[in-house]
Each structure stands twice: as structure tokens, then as C-alpha cells.
Amino acid sequence: MTSEQTTQIRNLFPLLNQKVNGNDCIYFDNAATTQKPIAVIDAIKAYYQTSNANVHRAAHTLASAATTEFENSRKAVQTFINAKHAHEIIWTSGTTEAINLVAQSWGSSQLVAGDEVIVSHAEHHANIVPWQQLEQQLGIQVKVIELLDTGVLDLSSFERLITDRTRLVAVSHISNVIGKCNPIEHIIQRAKQVGAKVLIDAAQSIAHYPLDVQQLDCDFLVFSAHKMYGPTGVGCLFGKSELLELMPPYKTGGEMIKKVSFNSGTTFNVLPHKFETGTPNIAGIISFRAAISFIQAQKEASGYEASLTAYAYQQLLSIPSLNMLTNGQPDIAIFSFNIAGEHQQDVATYLDSKGVAVRVGHHCAMPLMEYLGVQGCIRISLALYNTKAEVDHVVELLRNFLNQGVKKVAKASVNHSKEKIMTLFESAKSWDAKHRQIMLLGKTLPTMADELKTDETLINGCESAAWIHITIDRESKVNIVAFSQAKIIKGLLVIVLAAVNGKTVENVSTFDFHEYFNDLGLLQHLSPSRGNGLLAIVEKIKRAVNKPL
């Protein structure tokens, strides 16, 4: 695509034109959810403004119009993935519910003790926990495919695991952390040889690659609308007709029944309605069709995405201390890495202060983090509307963080008071300035003895590991020692301790932390997880002095 075409695409996404923390918005968290084009937003508005009615249930004109649009979206998905029948498309709330539907309906009815389900180390929690639940409930065995150093599924490991007792192979087409295409064609073919069914999690691949379920011959395919420029709260389960017919309902209630009687019992509706109980996300499902149309209209998208992926990979590798989680360039623009000597939370918070949205943590893939031997990572993920200029800017910011940022600032005094903290933040007007001040304060937090870092002192609810040891002396004064590896959390700990350390139990019990944080201008800028972590610190202190938060 030309730069003019890229600009035209960006103009279709209203959110990208806003300022974040006083900077141009750079949205690099597309693996979590993509932004929505104006066509999707308009379709949602149009439904509520012109045809808001429940579907399938009434004979009036508005209901008929809503039902037609609703079912047209089902047909659009059928065409998009080349399903044989429209009734093979089941609406769900997302990929997670779609997998749970298969596990609780097909799995609970078709699996018995001793049967085997194969997953991989690279799966999202949503494709692990449902099968673990069946392992406990039914006595099946969950087996796990190893990975190559590239992060791709190791076919030799798969061959060692698959047996005549294998009943299902459930793997992702592309991991939400690694960004590499797995050899699903081979996996499907091999599974068929032992009579096993195959579920493909296409949540990360569906927006980037055309998928033909008839050609793949997979038994189930699951994905979410919100990762392909569509609305949240909408997902799809494709299942072969013969399997869906065998499966009992996943939920019960309205719409999924044909007849309910206390005398003659209940009979269930036909496909797809058997699995679609209650009032669905009608506006979301109708607007999903606009997202599919958007993807189909981007004929040059694959070439542009491939070019952007290669460029971003090389630019990130130019940072010497940056270490990718796995070897080799990803197939789609998902880059997961850590930076030597830097805590992931500090990097993400710095970027956020500059208007850049990235994701850090375990990304709902804790077994993968454990397998790779890391606590978490930074993830940058791009979409059609992202540009090489944005990549350059973020790489420059990362270099600034490493070379000119908090590491070269002289260490400040450790003697802080509430009044001093308030004074420091009065002059910090922007979030960028406040963030820098927090990082400076973090450098003043003394280290904590390792023997004090216990499960008892660990702060539950803080997204980075942090500990707080609280004692009360004979004069009823509260004394606190705290620590975290993340500089941003260390800075927040300094702010909290400045307000209460050395104060009496009564003073700590009655201190208004919410007012304090609001006066400093913290909570409105911190991410929900970091804000919750800050409140978790306060809660632990309040509990120690026997007062509720």
C-alpha cells in the first residue's frame, strides 16, 4: 500500500486521531483488541436507531428487519471461512466461550476416562483450563506439545504424544505471544489418521490469513470479532454439522428450545439455535458484518502487513539489550520481548506516558512463560493502520528510556514526607512529568532484606511482585518496609509510605488515601491494573492496623 492508502485507512478509525497523555496516539496492542472502523461504529448506531428489536421472536416489522440483518451476518461469516452450511456458525461471546462450549458440550458428552486431549505450551489459558476441568471431571488426560526454539509447535513432540486414545487436538493457529504460524494442516491430517477431532483457535490469525474450513478439514474453528476490527462481545464457533447435531445444549433458556412442558418434557431447537440461548449481542453481531467487509476490501493488506512486520522486527533487533522470547521473525506483527536490566512494567509505563499503548505481563499464557523461563514480557502488536513511522518513534522512545531516562538521574534523598511529595507533584502538570517523578522516587526506595520477602508480605493484587512488611511499635506507630523490582511500583510505594510511615495507628486508620492520590493526580492516569495495585498496597496497610479500606 502507498502512504496515501495507509492514511486513508487510518482515517477510517476515529480513535487513532486523538491525543493520549498529550501525545499522538500510537496503538500497539492489537493482539489484545483492534480498533474499530467508522463503518462498524455506524452499523451499531444504525441498529439502535432504526431497527432495535429482538430477533427470531416477533412478527412485527422491526423484528423482521433485525432478524434479517442478524442472519445476514451469519451468512457473511459462513462465506468468510467457507463453511458448508450457515447453521455451522454458532454465535458466542468470544473465543473463550466458543472453546468452553466445545469442552462442556462435545467434551462432556463424547469423552470418557482415559481419553486424551492434546494441547500445546503456547496456548492461551482459554484453550488450556477447559480441558484441565474435564481432566478433573472425567479422568481424561491432557498432553502438551513441546515447542521449537522458534516457538512453533514441535511436530516430533506431537508424534510422540498422539496415540489411538487421542480424541481431540486443540491448538492455536498463531499464538497470541509468539506470532508464528503453526503447521495446522499437518496436525489436522495426522489427527484424522487416529480418528481424533481437531479444534483450531484462530483468534490471532483470522484477521491476517484467509481460512477455508472445508479445505483445512478441521472439526471446530473459533475466533473473536474484536480482534478483527469488529465489536467486543461477539465470537464464532464453527463446527461440522454432524458434530453439532450430536452435542447437547451448552446453556438452556429461551430461543434454544422447541417445546417446554411439565408433562411431556422439553425438546431442543435445530441448529444453530440449539446453542444460542437468550437475547444475543444483536448490535454487535450485525455490525460484525461491516468488519468482515473492511477486511475483504483490503486487497493489498497482506503485502503491507508482511513488509511492516519485517521492518518492525529489524528495528526492534537494533536495540542491543532487547531480547525476543523466541528465535526468528514472527509471521504476523506480534513481537514479545524483554529488555535486559529493565522491568517490563517500567518500560510499558514510560511508553504509556508518551501516548504509546503496549501490553506487558503473561498475556493469559502463564504456562508458556513458565516453559520459556520468564516472568512475563513486553508485547508490541501491529495492525493495518500502523505505520513504519510509528515503529521508528517507538524504537526511538525505547532508546531514550535506556540511554537518557531514569537510569542517569542522580539519586534523590530517601527522606520523604507527604508534604514533600505533594510539592513535587504540584509542579508536575502532565502525566509524562508525573511518571518521571514516580520513577525518580522509585530510585530512593531502600532495598528490603530477602528474608522479609515472604508469601505473607507479598501484596496480592499488584501486577508486579511487591512486598510490604508492617510492624507496630510500643508507641502504636506504624513502621513499613517495602520493595518491588519494578521502578514504577517502587515509586508508588514511596508515595504511600511517605504518607503513613512513622504515623500512629489512629492516623493511618483515618488517612484518606483516595483524596491523597486524587490530589497527586495519580489514579486517573494509572492503568486499571496499576491503579488496583496501588489500592492493594493501601488495603494491606489498612488490614495491618485493623481498619477496613
List residues bridging with 145 in a β-sheet: 120
Other CB atoms within 10 A of residue 116 CB: 20
Catalytic residues: 364
CA–CA distance, 442 with 488 (Å, rounded to integer): 6
Helix (H) or strand (E) holding 404: none
Alpha carbon 118 to chain centroid distance? 23
Percent of the chain as helix, strand, coil, to the nearest 5: 45, 15, 40
3-class DSSP string for 434-478: HHHHHHHHHCCCCCCCHHHCCCCCECCCCCCCEEEEEEECCCCEE
The CA-based angle 540-546-549, given to 5 degrees, is 55
Using CA atoms, how far residue 103 sits from 142, 151, 205, 217, 355, in Å, is 13, 26, 22, 19, 40
CB-CB contact of 113 with 140 (8 Å) = yes
Query: Is residue 194 within 8 Å of residue 164, measured between CB atoms?
Result: yes
Contact 327, 89 (CB under 8 A): no
Burial (CB count within 10 angstroms: exposed 0-12, middle 13-18, buried 19+), residue 528: exposed
Q: For cell 497482506, what's the residue?
A: 302
Pick from 145, 138, 175: which is nearest to 160 by CA? 145
d(CA 223, CA 213): 13
> Which residue in 12, 20, 27, 331 sits closest to 179, CA to CA?
331
